Amino acid sequence: MTTVLRASDSADFLGIVPALAGFTPRRSVVLLPFQGSRTHGAMRLDLPSGDTDLEAYADAAVGLIARVTGTDAVAVVVYSDEGPESTSDGLVLPVAVAVDELLWRAEDAGLRIVDALCVTPRGWSSYLADEPVLGDLSDLAPVPEVPGLGDVAGDQLAGTALPVADLARKERVARALREIGELLDHDAIGPLTGREGPAALAGIAALADIPAFFEALLEHPDATPVSATGALLWCLDRPVFRDVALAQWATGVDGGIRTLQAQLAFARDGRMISDDLGAVFLGMGPAPDPDRLRLALEVVRYAAAAAPRACRPGPLTAAAWLSWALGRSSHAGHYLDLVRDIDPQYGLAALLRTMVDAAVLPEWTFRRGGAAAAGSAT
């Protein structure tokens, strides 16, 4: 169901930006693509710093917004922790030079400017006014309630903190992971000695059908058994199975089966994975079901919270890719920072970091009305 939010003036519009973005931005430039009088979702960029190439920054911003299908206009909203500067010529709003460059580039690209606004701790104003005047923040319309959206009061990093896992669960997960690893890593399944714990045995049994195992994890993301968590961590620490999990969560069980077959064929005789499967990891092809991605994200977040520190890069990198696939590059960057603190050389994380730093988003996030378009953040 689509919720229609209406704004009659700039103050009303600022009130609905958090609902469009899915959070209340801080230290951000927010771009809202319009088609006629309607907008759908938002894109967020970090504020430019003192050494930012403003021409390149503006080009990248306009390039992103122009890729959204059907876009013919744009609104720009800056959220700054710094107030405007008072000069003899009046108020100068934060990052005004960068916004002027961005608006000029947008108009040069044929985009109509709907509005260009600035929100600071001292008030809000418009970059389009000849003599900016601060409006009172209390005059802004309250953020409307949108069914299913939840609380949007937090900033762009809200929701990235890992769930809490108590020490007892962490110890049980570590033991199950260690026992699973000893059996599977040494000799395929290996002979059972009778000394394995029940969690390890349950985890090994779950791995008998990898795609079915990954699918079952989506049923209760916040109540995964210790055995399943241990088995998942073992898989996510191995690219051959990690990639199966991500492909399956993005495309469905059939995609997981095909990816597993392709991975095993490559390991056996070097046959390359098909282009359509490889394209998923680069954000190309049909848009994934966002509900599946969100469930999978919760699965790997809970796994990361319970994992021994050395085993966290796998689930954290999976969380980064799933966040990126949902259009949440800010969240992806946060998880990648956590991976870098543990293992700076972790392969997939390094690739994702390159994509996030270059403001590369999945193609499906640019399709108006697409599965992951609303509330996207870079």
* 333-349 per-position pLDDT tens digit: 999 999 999 999 998 89
Tell me the Ramachandran region of residue 94: left when phi exceeds 0, alpha when psi lies from -120 to 50, beta otherwise.
beta
Cα separation of 262 and 265, whole Å? 5
pLDDT band at 270 (very low <50, low <70, confident <90, very high): low
Nearest to 17 by CA among 117, 102, 147, 132: 117
What integer best gives the mean pLDDT of the chain? 85
Band (86; pLDDT cuts 50, 70, 90): confident
What is the percent of the chain where pLDDT is above 90? 55
Answer whether residue 172 shows pLDDT above 90: yes
What integer pLDDT is reported at residue 371 of this predicted model?
Answer: 40
DSSP assignment letter at 188: T
- Give the sign of the dihedral formed by CA 56, CA 58, CA 60, CA 66: negative
- Of residues 199 and 111, more confidently modeled: 111
Say what the pLDDT of residue 194 is.
Answer: 39
Q: Are strands 123-126 and 112-120 parallel, antiparallel or unpaired?
A: antiparallel
Dihedral sign for Cα 333, 337, 338, 344, please: positive
Lowest mean pLDDT among 10-14, 59-63, 86-90: 86-90
As a whole number, mean pLDDT of residues 15-41 equals 90
Among 38-52, 95-109, 183-197, 209-223, whose mean pLDDT is lowest? 183-197
Q: d(Cα 176, Cα 167) in Å, to the nearest integer?
A: 14
Residue 189 has a pLDDT of 40
Mean pLDDT of 99-104: 96
Residue 193 has pLDDT above 50, yes or no: no
pLDDT at 173 over 80: yes
Which sign does the torsion angle of CA 18, 23, 28, 34 carry? negative
Percent of the chain with pLDDT over 70: 84
pLDDT of residue 111: 95
Which residue did the predictor score with more confidence, 145 or 197?
A: 145
| Helices 226-236, 198-206: crossing angle, 10 deg rounding | 60
Predicted confidence (pLDDT) at residue 325 exceeds the cutoff of 90: yes
| Token pair recorded at residue 187 | 């000799």
Give mean pLDDT, residues 54-59: 95
60-74, 138-152, 164-178, 228-242 — which is least confidently predicted? 138-152
Nearest to 43 by CA among 367, 329, 291, 325: 329
Whether pLDDT at 374 is above 50: no
CA–CA separation, 64 and 43 (whole Å): 8
Phi and psi at residue 308, to the nearest 5° = -60, 150
Mean pLDDT, rounded, for 90-116 = 95
Q: Which residue has the higher pLDDT, 139 or 324?
A: 324
Residue-level pLDDT at 9:
81
User: Distance between CA atoms of 139 and 84, rounded to whole angstroms?
Assistant: 18
**Residue 350 pLDDT > 60:** yes
The pLDDT score that the predictor gives to residue 190 is: 41
pLDDT digits 0-9 by tens, 194-229: 344 556 555 555 666 899 999 999 999 988 999 999
pLDDT at 38: 86
